């Protein structure tokens, strides 16, 4: 038999039908929905007079639009409230399980899916949200879709999808101190640009990937979309199985042992051919930061802003427009530049490990006076864990305020907006113009880099706080 | 999904000569709270179109009366970022029927095709030439023939073939709908479910 990639194995086993010269009819195992991209899809069903084909395979949450303070009160913004209510009505009407606002298991869709055991190896997973790629960390084909496609899945549990090409990214070597999975993926994107993987689905391999926890793998897969890839996946291994074994329950799986034996078969064959193969060395990665308005515009934190754009064109108009927006100049260094806001959260870095990392640096220190910090857990479960581990107290004592879960400042649909012209170090995934509020200036970075800035009030190399034994400097 | 047909379009163009125009620029997140598909055109490119105080930004191309047309010509990597179909609804609602660039983000491309907005990929060189021409002469017209898959700058006769998935082409030419197609496959989907194993 011809050797196959993991991507091919999962994809091919989910094709209901291949249309000649057209897309494949792809069967979807798990469908996540949220309040922002689903209402028009439900309207579509109503207009057609049809129901939801397999309601048990769709899971809903409210996350994008919700406040992170006083969640027990009614949402103040009328449109947002209507959207959240519409989701509840639709879920009720069609029998879809909803982890909505104030549900004890509520949270960002890409954080709760894995937590609740709904994301499992070998699945096809879609959601009307581009960061669905996060779930690829479990060895799944997971990708974002538009609302028309949400409607297709609700109506038939299938979508029409052309098969993407395959790319393998291998990362070997040892990571240096102070370098996290966020830095890995920001480094890769800065190397290949914000459109470098468009048309591809990525498989991440190599020893440096194998050594990562599930949380760290999710961060990497999450940002695959920021280089244009439809998604990214990592073959399941012992780390994956350990994570799954520790979950309180896995819906639909009765005998975890024999299921793991099945999951063990999920991997690319040795001689499988990829359309593109890239290799990077983990040892060359430093803590990263972005200086522009797309995630490809990133650099090592102690570097200077390049004087030409990624194509080597001398300061193209798009490149200059982006630097102007940020208030930066080509050739400038960012270390020491003042920061106004720090946001830790989102489906990229809103998991318990991220809050532990942040705590690593703030323990025994105080927040800088010029910093407004938004500390937003990715889910209720993360929020509870933070309390249980004493992190919430630690944060409060250091002058921070821990909010309630949600997407928050990652896309600023709620009140959590960064004001015009202000600089925010953000652990989220997009530094687009106005992403965190009109006129906001986003600098993407890891939780460690965010913590260092929260303490000093300036862009700071987190390695200053961490010594060679990976211990935090007092 | 609205059933939209597309066959031949002759139109002037609106130039947007920036690269990496992301979906947050096309329709900022704070306008995504609506629960219908209509009306997003009002907020298309909102933060470029209006100043901070809410007045029209006269420097932005959509506010420049010399430019009009149903074809948006944009720099490379158009539509990157979020999967929000609202971006396509906004462009369509504003009155565009086609977007021309040298490179589109994947999800945007699918969303556009699913809503009858035709994404046309042309070479970097031709894109540059077209942008310059349109900026010099806003009356520059292009012709898009979906059946023949040709894109032509009428004044110069520059004509290229563009690619489109044959299935999607058929859908657009005939105004067919994906969901009807899938609904007709229910029995195949049922039997797929019955035979499905883990891999
Ligand atoms: S946290 Fe940000 S990126 Fe993630 S789902 Fe929410 S809005 Fe999207």
Pair type for strands A341-344 and A423-426? parallel
- Mean pLDDT, chain A, integer: 95
Instruction: Give yes or no for B181 touching A (CB within 8 A).
Output: yes
The CATH number of the structural domain formed by A6-278 is 3.30.499.10
CA–chain centroid gap for A30, Å, is 18
Q: Distances in Å between the alpha carbon of A445 and those of A288, A289, A367, A461, B47?
A: 6, 5, 18, 11, 25
Q: Name residues 181-200 of chain A within 8 A of B (Cβ).
A: 194-195, 198-199
> Which band of pLDDT confidence, cut at 50, 70 and 90, is reported for residue B196?
confident
User: For residue A410, how far is its CA from the centre of ligand 1 (angstroms)?
Assistant: 6
Phi-psi category of A154—alpha, beta or left, where left has phi over 0 and alpha has psi -120 to 50? alpha
Pocket test for ligand 1, best of A33, A61, A64 (most atoms within 8 A of CB): A64
Which CATH code fits A292-465? Answer: 3.30.499.10
pLDDT, one tens digit per residue, over A13-25 is 999 999 988 899 9
Per-residue pLDDT of A72-81, as tens digits, reads: 998 999 999 9
* B4 CB burial (10 A radius; 0-12, 13-18, 19+): middle
Residue A277: count of CB within 10 angstroms of its CB: 12
Whether A401 contacts chain B with CB within 8 A: no
Q: What confidence category does residue B4 fall into, taking pLDDT thresholds of 50, 70 and 90?
A: confident
What pLDDT, in 10s, does the model give residues A112-129?
999 999 999 999 999 999
CA distances from A391 to A186, A446, A457, B122 (A): 27, 18, 21, 53
- pLDDT of A471 higher than 80: no
Ligand 1 center to residue A111 CA distance, Å?
Answer: 10
Question: Is A130 close to B107, i.e. CB distance below 8 A?
Answer: yes
Residue A423, pLDDT above cutoff 90: yes
Quick: pLDDT tens for A375-384.
Answer: 999 999 999 9
Q: What is the mean pLDDT of chain B?
A: 93
Q: Is this prediction's pTM over 0.90?
A: yes
pLDDT at A470 over 90: no
Cα of B71 from ligand 1 centre, angstroms = 31
In the structure, what pLDDT confidence band is assigned to residue A52 with cuts at 50, 70 and 90?
very high
Work out the average pLDDT over A440-452.
98
Query: Is the CB–ligand 1 distance for residue A346 below 6 Å?
Result: yes
pLDDT beyond 90 at B3 = no
Residue A74 DSSP class: P
Q: For chain B, list the domains and their CATH numbers.
A: 8-197 (3.20.19.10)
Contact residues, B window 147-176, toward A, CB-based 8 Å cutoff: 165-168
Averaged pLDDT, A31-55: 96
pLDDT class of A296 with cuts at 50, 70, 90: very high
Report pLDDT digits (tens) over B14-33: 999 999 999 999 999 999 99
Q: Which helix (H) or strand (E) holds B61?
A: none
- For the stretch B31-66, pLDDT in tens is 999 889 999 999 999 999 999 889 999 999 999 999
Q: Confidence class of residue A224 from pLDDT cuts 50, 70 and 90?
A: very high
pLDDT value for B52: 86
Is B136 part of the contact surface with chain A (CB cutoff 8 Å)? no
Instruction: State how far residue B141 is from chain A, nearest Cα, in angstroms.
Output: 25
Does A33 sit in the ligand 1 pocket, CB within 6 Å?
Answer: no
State how far the Cα of B32 lies from the Cα of B43, in Å rounded to an integer: 10
- Judged against a pLDDT cut of 80, whether residue A315 lies above it is answered with no
Give the separation between CA B40 and CA B47, rounded to whole angstroms. 14
Encoding tokens for residue A196?
A: 């470098």
Distant-in-sequence, close-in-space partners of B148: CB < 8 Å, separation ≥ 6: B161
pLDDT at A331 over 60: yes
Q: Cβ contacts (< 8 Å) between A164 and chain B: which residues?
A: 106
**For range A15-41, the mean pLDDT:** 95
Q: A312 pLDDT band (50/70/90 cuts)?
A: low
Higher pLDDT among residues B103 and A21, named by residue: B103
Contact A228 B179 (CB under 8 A): no
Section B135-139 average pLDDT: 97
10 Å Cβ neighbour count for A364?
A: 10
Does the pLDDT value for residue A316 go beyond 90?
no
Percent of chain A with pLDDT over 70: 97
pLDDT at A347: 98
Our CA dihedral for A45, A48, A53, A57, rounded to 10 degrees, sits at -10
What pLDDT, on the 0 to 100 scale, is given for residue A150? 97
With tokens 């009009």, the residue in question is: B68
CA of B162 to nearest chain A CA: how many angstroms apart?
16
Distance from CA of B120 to the nearest CA of A (A): 16
Please tell me the predicted confidence (pLDDT) of residue B198.
53
């Amino acid at each position: 038999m011809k050797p196959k990639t993991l991507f091919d194995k999962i994809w091919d086993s989910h094709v209901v039908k291949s249309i000649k010269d057209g897309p494949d009819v792809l069967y979807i195992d798990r469908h996540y929905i949220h309040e922002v991209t689903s209402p028009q899809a439900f309207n579509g069903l109503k207009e057609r007079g049809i129901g939801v084909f397999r309601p048990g395979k769709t899971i809903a949450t409210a996350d994008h639009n919700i406040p992170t303070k006083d969640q027990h009160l009614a949402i103040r913004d009328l449109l947002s409230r209507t959207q959240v209510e519409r989701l509840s009505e639709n879920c009720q009407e069609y029998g879809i399980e909803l982890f909505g606002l104030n549900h004890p298991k509520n949270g960002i869709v890409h954080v709760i899916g894995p937590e609740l055991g709904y994301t499992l190896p070998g699945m096809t997973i879609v959601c009307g949200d581009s960061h669905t790629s996060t779930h690829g960390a479990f060895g799944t084909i997971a990708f974002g879709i538009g609302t028309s496609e949400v409607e297709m899945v609700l109506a038939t549990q299938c979508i029409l999808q052309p098969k993407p090409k395959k790319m393998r990214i291998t990362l070997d070597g040892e990571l240096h101190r102070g370098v996290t999975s966020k830095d890995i993926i920001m480094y890769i994107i800065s190397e290949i640009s914000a459109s470098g993987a468009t048309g591809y689905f990525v498989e991440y391999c190599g020893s440096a990937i194998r050594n990562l926890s599930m949380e760290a793998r999710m961060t990497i897969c999450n940002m695959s979309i920021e280089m244009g890839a439809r998604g990214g996946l990592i073959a399941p291994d012992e780390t994956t199985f350990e994570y799954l074994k520790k979950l309180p329950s896995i819906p639909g799986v009765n005998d975890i042992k024999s299921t793991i034996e099945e999951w063990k078969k999920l991997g690319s064959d040795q001689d499988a051919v990829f359309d593109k193969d890239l290799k990077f060395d983990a040892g060359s990665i430093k803590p990263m930061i972005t200086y522009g308005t797309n995630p490809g515009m990133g650099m090592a934190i102690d570097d200077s802003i390049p004087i030409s754009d990624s194509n080597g064109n001398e300061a193209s108009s798009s490149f200059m427009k982006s630097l102007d927006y940020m208030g930066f100049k080509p050739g400038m260094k960012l270390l020491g530049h003042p920061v106004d806001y720090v946001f830790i959260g989102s489906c990229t870095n809103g998991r318990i490990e991220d809050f532990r990392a942040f705590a690593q640096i703030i323990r025994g220190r105080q927040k800088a006076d010029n910093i407004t910090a938004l500390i937003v857990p990715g889910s209720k479960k993360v929020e509870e864990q933070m309390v249980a581990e004493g992190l919430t107290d630690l944060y409060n004592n250091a002058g921070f305020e821990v909010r309630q879960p949600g997407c928050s400042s990652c896309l600023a649909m709620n009140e959590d907006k960064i004001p015009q012209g202000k600089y925010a170090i953000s652990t989220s995934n997009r530094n687009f113009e106005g992403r965190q509020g009109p006129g906001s200036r986003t600098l993407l970075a890891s939780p460690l880099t965010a913590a260092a800035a929260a303490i000093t009030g300036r862009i700071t190399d987190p390695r200053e706080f961490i010594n060679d034994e990976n211990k935090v400097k007092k | 999904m609205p059933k939209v047909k597309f066959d031949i379009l002759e139109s002037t163009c609106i130039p947007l000569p920036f690269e990496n125009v992301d979906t947050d620029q096309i329709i900022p997140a704070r306008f995504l709270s609506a629960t219908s598909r209509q009306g997003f055109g009002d907020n298309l490119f909102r933060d470029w179109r209006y100043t901070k105080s809410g007045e029209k930004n006269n420097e932005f191309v959509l506010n420049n009366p010399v430019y009009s047309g149903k074809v948006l010509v944009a720099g490379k990597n158009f539509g990157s970022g979020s999967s929000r179909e609202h971006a396509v609804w906004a462009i369509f609602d504003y009155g565009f029927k086609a977007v021309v660039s040298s490179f589109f983000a994947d999800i945007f491309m699918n969303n556009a095709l699913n809503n009858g907005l035709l994404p046309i990929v042309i070479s970097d060189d031709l894109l540059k030439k077209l942008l310059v021409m349109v900026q010099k002469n806003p009356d520059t017209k292009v012709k898009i023939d979906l059946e023949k898959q040709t894109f032509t700058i009428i004044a110069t006769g520059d004509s290229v073939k563009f690619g489109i998935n044959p299935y999607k082409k058929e859908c657009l030419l005939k105004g067919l709908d994906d969901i009807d197609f899938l609904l007709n496959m229910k029995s195949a989907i049922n039997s797929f479910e019955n035979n499905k194993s883990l891999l």
